[in-house]
Homo-oligomer: A and B are copies of this chain.
Amino acid sequence: MEKSKKHIPFEISITMLEAIELDIRNKNDSSLLMQFSELHYADIAEILDELNLFQATYIIKLLDSEQTSDILAELDDDVREKILENLSAKEIAEEVKELDTDDAADILSELSPERKENVIAQIDDKELVADINELLEYDENTAGGLMAKELVKVYETWTVAGCLRKIRLQAENVKRVHSIYVVDKANKLIGRLSLKDLLISKNETKISDIYIPKVDYVHFNDDDEDVARLMTKYDLEAIPVVDDEKTLLGRITIDDIVDVIIEEAEKDYQLAAGITQDVDSEDSILALTKARLPWLFLGLIGGVGAAIIMGNFDSIIKDFPIILLFTPLIAAMAGNVGVQSSAIIVQGLANDDIKGSINNRLIKEMFLATLNGVVLAVFLCGFIYKFWDQDIQTSLAVSVSLVAVIIVAGIVGTFIPLFLHKRGIDPAIATGPFITTSNDIFGILIYFIIAKFILNI
């Protein structure tokens, strides 16, 4: 069936960009305002990411701060940073006032300390300043760093009717109402109330009679990835954040968690691919080089190490150069097996899926590697002996080594992430070049030792 057209996601066309650039050049503001009035702020942010700094700033200054605040929050960090440099403290303050407190704090935290103070000084809403200052205190990778101060809360002593009245007031500042949090006199979280329950209850009912005392919550100091795991597991769309006394501080919504999940997945993927920093394909060549060179350098050192090891086996080089032809094969297999087994462990750790002891895990991997290794070695041995017409000793030297190397690579790939995790280090760093390189060296050393032994030299 053909897909209907309307719902196809927004896509930037070159024609559209050219029209916008022309309008900016001609200062045709009315045409620009018309074009942008129809667009979602996330789409406008995408367009601004494509324009140059002058053009992007022009659009931001042209549009209304209600719209631009959301656009700014959505922009790529580096584009936003540059645009903010072109705005006055007063202009930034106007934007910040329109945003939810969490986005406001995120943007302010990117400014220099001095600039930040100037912007905050321009905000006259005392309560907002207090909220933002509080949020700026939290570590960005914790629940406190993710939460917003906007939420709907009711006191247990209220009635449904009174509650609806108060909620109507509070709700005007809250973009989306998820759960309603119930607190006691001291502002301590004691439960929640779903909007649905509120809608289907009688007006005179007391909140204390209908609220649900079982409520999931997190501490402001909890790690953002733990919050993501919790919300995903329990299918929560919002979660309240409390302090040590269970005082209700704010709430985290699922859209922020989706960002955490995506970022985390991208980071792990990049680490596995040997990219050290968060880069994307649109970044400058210098930024990309900085992100890629360190692991390549590690690979180079590994390669030199492997060459030095081989250089020490004179007898093999002189009498059995055919052994040297299989070093890339051995190294590649060691690398592949290491990456496979470490990736499974890293993913299992991320999903809290790894049960049982390290020893059991290593024994399982040993069986697995042996099974894989023997299958591959039989094939390889047959090939070298039958089709390449080598003597049985050479064929055995290569294939027996292959089994040994695969087993060691599997064990190293399993052990390193588990070990790092135990030490509190992100195991994702272990996959990719780190495992590949160490396995290359190990693999070749094992290969040459076994070959030397089997060839009896």
Chain A residues proximal to chain B, CB less than 8 Å: 1, 3-4, 7, 9, 12, 40, 42, 50, 164, 167-168, 171-172, 174, 176-177, 194-196, 199-200, 216-219, 221-222, 226, 229-230, 232-235, 237, 242, 244, 254-255, 257-259, 261-262, 265-266, 268-270, 272-275, 279-282, 285, 288-289, 292-293, 295-297, 299-300, 302-304, 306-307, 310-311, 317-318, 321-322, 324-333, 335-337, 339-340, 342-345, 347-348, 351, 353-355, 361, 364, 367-368, 371-372, 375-376, 379-380, 383, 388, 431-433, 436-437, 440, 444
Q: How far is the CA of A166 from the CA of B342 in the complex (A)?
A: 54
Residue of A172, A229, A270, A299 with most partner-chain B CB within 10 A: A299
Q: How far is the CA of A399 from the CA of B368 in the complex (A)?
A: 38
Residue of A219, A330, A336, A367 with most partner-chain B CB within 10 A: A336
Tally of this chain's copies: 2
CB–CB B7/A219 < 8 A = yes
CB–CB A335/B269 < 8 A = no
Query: Can you give 20 contacting A-B residue pairs, CB < 8 Å?
Result: A1-B221, A3-B222, A7-B216, A167-B199, A176-B194, A176-B196, A232-B255, A270-B347, A272-B343, A282-B348, A288-B344, A289-B371, A292-B337, A295-B336, A296-B372, A303-B330, A304-B380, A304-B383, A321-B321, A324-B324
Tell me which residues across on chain B come within 8 A of A4, comparing CB atoms: 219, 244
CB–CB B164/A177 < 8 A = no
CB–CB A258/B269 < 8 A = no
Q: Pick the contact of A9: B229, B282, B336, B361 (CB < 8 A).
A: B229
Tell me which residues across on chain B come within 8 A of A297, comparing CB atoms: 376, 379
Q: How far is the CA of A397 from the CA of B326 in the complex (A)?
A: 21
Tell me which residues across on chain B come within 8 A of A304, comparing CB atoms: 329, 380, 383
